[in-house]
Structure 1
């Protein structure tokens, strides 16, 4: 593990190259204060004074302790390398002596000076370069307390001294060409420093600019006189005299190192405009805003990175935009394919590219410096003040790009990479444009431009399938177009069928040429991963849904949360994974196909199998825990044991459980299918069982029926009789709610037979209760009464009070439907008393609705309205949309009976909106519409202000 601490340019900690979240700015200051004084004890009072200064609040000490605790937690992944420990009198951050960039700088500079004194100028130059390269900005920028300001001033003085020592060294070595931009910047910052002035004057003179050197001396002399009332010192006056007479002693020690510029044509290196470029209008506008050329000396070089997965069209976009804006860079355009992710070959050495750029800019190869850093300095000199566009295509990482960045804000740099290059963003403030796949209309336009609109229109279903299988990836679309245009007998339908086979989909996109083979392009991104991150990429192929959350991913990979976040960030940085929403990770279908292929061919078979089992364990145990909050009185089931490394989620409230199901139910349904297909039969039906309450509350009857069809197949294969009966009952429930009553009877007949044959009395009781509801929906209220009565007797004998109460409510409803409303009230109140004692909110919601119905028909309308409102409140708390809509319909009848037509109309409108939202069968929707149509057009009273 490598741990880096950064203070120069911002307070950062990187573990294996990934940034650690250090919390808010003031918390970062605490770490910076400890880090500047690393391995020394700082008292609490000292830390408060360093972090807050004189304006420390009263609770500064307690806030400091909180910051220290959070920092310890944040540094836990690196605790072997860095630890904040309490010591007598204060706190100490224990780290390696050169773990922080500031301390490495302070260690390297004396070594460089010693090497220079010993005559080893090459080693001295290398050490100075390494030390100065650590400065990516101010020390702890943004911290404005007396202590930090003193530390910053001290560090800046050390930086300037080191830079000037390096300047003297480079002048002795004849490396003056690379010093001009740096010394010009120093002179602007320190206009009265005579040592800087002397170095700049000598540099300008040796670069063939004696007039500029003499002019700088005169400007300094006037400034010294005006501001300090003094003249330049003897050394500077002597240098001025020597420049006037062209003293031979000012000549560089070796003239061969000077790099005069030869005449050269304006470089125009951009490759040809991409053929049939399509879409990306928003992205081109965005690039216009990001990469406006600048000219002020204090401006940063405009640098932007187009990043995205392989084959998404980054180079196409960069070249299209660059060609469209050529007039913005009259001094030329430089281009290099850095081959960072080329399927064949290694990435280009940036200094090879640098030498090519120097040739294009007119540098004479015979007089070019040999040292790479000197070549980079010459490159910056030659680009200084020029309006140039530099396109660096297919960059591997930040280190490959850094030597190729100019120093002048008049230049513009556009980079493409599959990696997000976070180091470049941190050091140079680069902007990012993340390029996604094409949307449906853009993908259709691209394929149409390649094949012709008529050909797509002739086979519309096949064209739609091709677009779907390519997942909006421009490279894949182009490969298909190439196959279709080079093989006239190949039809869209035949090609769509070929791509329809998931296992061979990438074979259909194989052109035989590495640069356009989709598999080869994806493989080059995969090969850039470290082994642990590559394993996580393969394991994520086992995710059963379209996306996955961090907790499920932790179960799938068996990684601690901190290590998993690191791997996920690396996959995102390489654009092998996307965060489509907060905490939701996914990749497009072709990447998933490639990951599945890798899991089958590269990894041990057990890797994928174990990952799938763990993620299914996670979903089963988490869904079960969430369902217990939705329906705590539901009969429990015995779950499959959770695998080691699985950490199911737990929820504190009913609302939290509902939100989790709302976020995950699509993934959970996919997990049921995946479990059944892969022989995880217990996982399949248990997960379906846990999803039932949520789907029923949302009225998703079709989804519920499909889910338990899959669960039933798993239960039959596992010969689990109780699970089979449960799935038959649930399918019957869904059929009942969607009006398929004959099918519901068949399902319940099977459930009844299974329950009786196995002697499972709880299952038998639940089946009678389901039969009661089915007969009620058919209008056979006497049969419903018989079955619900049997359920009451069975639940009573079992001692199952929650379900006895539910059955009593069903019995009350049967009495109400038979016209015996006093009996309905008695049975309803009996059920309600049990449910209130048990705190069964779901049961109470149903019973209040039944009582409202009974009171309405007894003519006690105020009591009915009160009961309905209690039911509505509980259903809304529970998120039971379907029952809420039913109760609204019942309440509308009571409002109509009392003449409150406006209130009746509003409750029906709310019910209709809910039915539409949860996709209720058309028959029930039409019933509500009919009730609305029956209402008189004038209303005697308005809707109550509190609502129904």
Structure 2
């Protein structure tokens, strides 16, 4: 019998396909195959079938699946393939029986051939290994636990593909690789190594302009999705192409650095050197000096004997565009010498509708420490346990960007004193024990002007000091808005600062002006709202249609035509992710809320695009009548509402 998991699950006997049973049976078999020749606890098999909602009969149902699989194996002459152990089951297979083990063997051989300076043989072995794939690992099996383990296997596939392509570029096969690289980048747009390989393949094929366009596309993707510039390595490659450096004609690709774990599997760390997974530091980082000092003070207390906390955790919280990621990356680079055990980084995509599960992140981190195969297989609990064991005794800084909630973060926390964790999130995470929260809202005005000076030159900004101050105010001192404004002016030497400031001041939708080269304030806000519940998102858009400087739950209730209590909960949900601000909190009054200026403009524009005009008009009419009634109640003593405080 031959088993195939590098794609949809298949069993083949001779030339015949063998039915693998129902979904539960397939999930159990897939779990056993992923860990062939290793014991798989029955609890993990049950979790793979049912997830967190395991019924009382779950264990018995799992054993029924095992019995059915044993009958299947016995019918093909292998009655002892599945063996019972004290903690679970073990599936005995020869290397030739499973496509995954054949794949691993071929990749290992290819790497050995490459190290022995036999690139032609190495490339053939890589291609033979990659030809075993028919799709994503265990494609189509609807199990969260299996999906996490399968994603780790998929990561190994793309890493091997990159290694193979690099060898083939060295063999002068650049023209043949352009199409394949283009398809790979469409599937993996944030992998800088693939982008660099395509740039080089195009350049060597005489397509220099297209090679440079690939860089610009990469930059747009990185800035839009991560708020980060391309790595130094990719920028260096762009420069070499711009100047038509003769060295690029030689079939050797410049060595690529470790990739960010959110987009790739980093290469195993050399002995004695911790993984270095941080994105490139922000060269013109400006402001937030007090915040940086606070981060340093908490994180460098790890293992200092104070007893304050075993693993220091700092959570940087703030609105979209406030520069949370930039601050965290800059702080982590500044603290690098304090954490020789490694600098880990991942983007958890928590502000959007599809946060990253902890399972694949743990797999990437373990791979960065050199774990492969059994070291990264298994469910969440097993990976988390191995991850904590890996970090024990090390001083490692773990940076978790854009966390959704505590549940997403907890499995990624180290277990022993010495390491530290830096989290960014749009919401407070009070469920992380001992965590210190640091809120970033906006830069102070001098820092805003300094950021513009670093982007545009001190002389240029100094000659338009008043315009720079106005521009900073119109940008709400938000780092993202300021960077977009600076980039727009920098790209147009004939513009002055006053020109853009006047445009922003005159535009009813100033956020529409704040988009450039893949950076977009409105897109950043849209990502945040897409992660909200439908009622909260609708309320955000309706509030943007108001002319009120502040608003209360009563106005929110009128807009949505719901109870005041429900509207209050939705307003708090918006405030939790810093899409609106709480501006009045008094025991004798209802809370009042307000927009950051630019966010109000975003809400107005998005609402007019997403909500039909007649519904906007009806909501506005309800809000106007409620505001008028509240005003009457406020000015008429017999009708006074007590806790109500106007509109």
> TM-score, structure 1 length as denominator?
0.38
Is 1:358 aligned to 2:363, yes or no?
A: no
Whole-Å separation in 2 of the counterparts to 1:377 and 1:590: 44
- 1:434 aligns with 439
Whole-Å separation in 2 of the counterparts to 1:363 and 1:412: 21
Task: Give the deviation of 1:526 after TM superposition.
Answer: 1.3
SS in 1 for 2:532: coil
Is 1:599 aligned to 2:604, yes or no?
A: no
Maintained 8 Å contact 2:427/2:577: yes
Partner residue of 1:576 out of 579, 585, 595: 579
Whole-Å separation in 1 of the counterparts to 2:584 and 2:303: 35
Over 3 Å counting, the alpha-carbon distance change for 1:262 and 1:598 in structure 2 is closer
Maintained 8 Å contact 1:599/1:605: no
Task: Give the deviation of 1:378 after TM superposition.
Answer: 0.9
Whole-Å separation in 2 of the counterparts to 1:442 and 1:555: 40
Maintained 8 Å contact 2:554/2:567: no
Whole-Å separation in 2 of the counterparts to 1:384 and 1:511: 44
Whole-Å separation in 2 of the counterparts to 1:572 and 1:591: 12
Whole-Å separation in 2 of the counterparts to 1:535 and 1:526: 9
Alignment of 1:366-405 (within 5 A): 367-405=375-413
Partner residue of 1:531 out of 522, 531, 534: 534
Task: Give the deviation of 1:475 after TM superposition.
Answer: 0.6
- 1:650 aligns with 640
- 1:463 aligns with 468
After superposition, the C-alpha distances for 1:79-113 in whole angstroms (9 at most, x for unaligned) are: xxxxxxxxxxxxxxxxxxxxxxxxxxxxxxxxxxx
Whole-Å separation in 2 of the counterparts to 1:564 and 1:382: 47
Over 3 Å counting, the alpha-carbon distance change for 1:131 and 1:606 in structure 2 is closer
Over 3 Å counting, the alpha-carbon distance change for 1:173 and 1:266 in structure 2 is farther
- 1:306 aligns with 316
Whole-Å separation in 1 of the counterparts to 2:86 and 2:393: 23
- 1:273 aligns with 281
Maintained 8 Å contact 1:266/1:331: yes
Maintained 8 Å contact 2:42/2:89: no
- 1:816 aligns with none
Task: Give the deviation of 1:556 after TM superposition.
Answer: 3.6
- 2:343 aligns with 333
After superposition, the C-alpha distances for 1:391-422 in whole angstroms (9 at most, x for unaligned) are: 011223444323322222322111112233x4
Maintained 8 Å contact 1:304/1:414: yes
Partner residue of 2:303 out of 294, 298, 301: 294
Over 3 Å counting, the alpha-carbon distance change for 1:287 and 1:127 in structure 2 is farther
Worse-superposed segment, 380-389 or 290-299: 290-299
Partner residue of 2:483 out of 478, 483, 489: 478
RMSD: 3.4
Over 3 Å counting, the alpha-carbon distance change for 1:126 and 1:380 in structure 2 is farther
Mind listing any 5+ residue stretches in structure 1 that lack a counterpart? 1-118, 133-167, 175-259, 633-648, 669-948
SS in 2 for 1:426: coil
Over 3 Å counting, the alpha-carbon distance change for 1:262 and 1:445 in structure 2 is closer
After superposition, the C-alpha distances for 1:494-530 in whole angstroms (9 at most, x for unaligned) are: 21232223344223212141xx221211111111111
Higher-RCO chain (CA-CA 8 Å, sequence separation at least 6):
2
Q: Which has the higher helix share?
A: 1
Maintained 8 Å contact 1:541/1:595: yes
Matched positions, count: 394
> TM-score, structure 2 length as denominator?
0.55
Whole-Å separation in 1 of the counterparts to 2:313 and 2:629: 48
Whole-Å separation in 2 of the counterparts to 1:567 and 1:367: 44
After superposition, the C-alpha distances for 1:846-886 in whole angstroms (9 at most, x for unaligned) are: xxxxxxxxxxxxxxxxxxxxxxxxxxxxxxxxxxxxxxxxx
Task: Give the deviation of 1:334 after TM superposition.
Answer: 0.9
Over 3 Å counting, the alpha-carbon distance change for 1:326 and 1:173 in structure 2 is farther
Maintained 8 Å contact 1:579/1:585: yes
Over 3 Å counting, the alpha-carbon distance change for 1:364 and 1:499 in structure 2 is same
SS in 1 for 2:398: strand
SS in 1 for 2:332: helix
Whole-Å separation in 1 of the counterparts to 2:418 and 2:53: 27
Task: Give the deviation of 1:361 after TM superposition.
Answer: 1.9
Task: Give the deviation of 1:603 after TM superposition.
Answer: 0.7
Alignment of 1:512-527 (within 5 A): 512-513=517-518, 516-527=519-530
Maintained 8 Å contact 1:502/1:593: no
Whole-Å separation in 1 of the counterparts to 2:461 and 2:557: 44
